[in-house]
Amino acid sequence: MGMFTKQVGLLTLVATVGLAGCASTQQVSKSKEMSEKATATAQQAASDAAAARAQAEQALRAANAAKAEAAEAQEMARDAKRSADNTESKIDRMFKKAMHK
């Protein structure tokens, strides 16, 4: 349980004990029921937060994988450009050599 859930449970206990001395049985039961609902709500919120964290971590992993693939694609594009530049230079040299003969 998270800190919030523990705090709600503690407040519930204090409220129940405080009301027990001056409240009717029906009022104490209603107070206890309300505190149990609050505790359940807090537990659900903690569960929802954990699920959201898990989804965020999964999204981050996917983004990192996409970033790595993009970097690899950029490197391949750089290699292709270097190869094309080298080929163009060779063609130019061959053309100039042929023209000077």
pLDDT in tens, the chain (101 residues): 555 555 656 556 555 555 455 557 787 788 888 888 888 898 999 999 999 999 999 999 999 999 999 999 999 999 999 999 999 999 999 988 888 86
Question: Which residues span the domain enclosing 50?
Answer: 3-99
Token pair in block for residue 99: 């023209």
pLDDT at 25: 78
d(CA 5, CA 54): 20
Token pair in block for residue 15: 């409220």
Among 6, 65, 68, CA closest to 38: 6
Residue with tokens 């807090």: 42
Q: How many domains does the chain have?
A: 1
Please tell me the chain's helix, strand, coil percentages from 3-state DSSP, rounded to the nearest 5: 90, 0, 10
Q: What is the DSSP string of 56-97?
A: HHHHHHHHHHHHHHHHHHHHHHHHHHHHHHHHHHHHHHHHHH
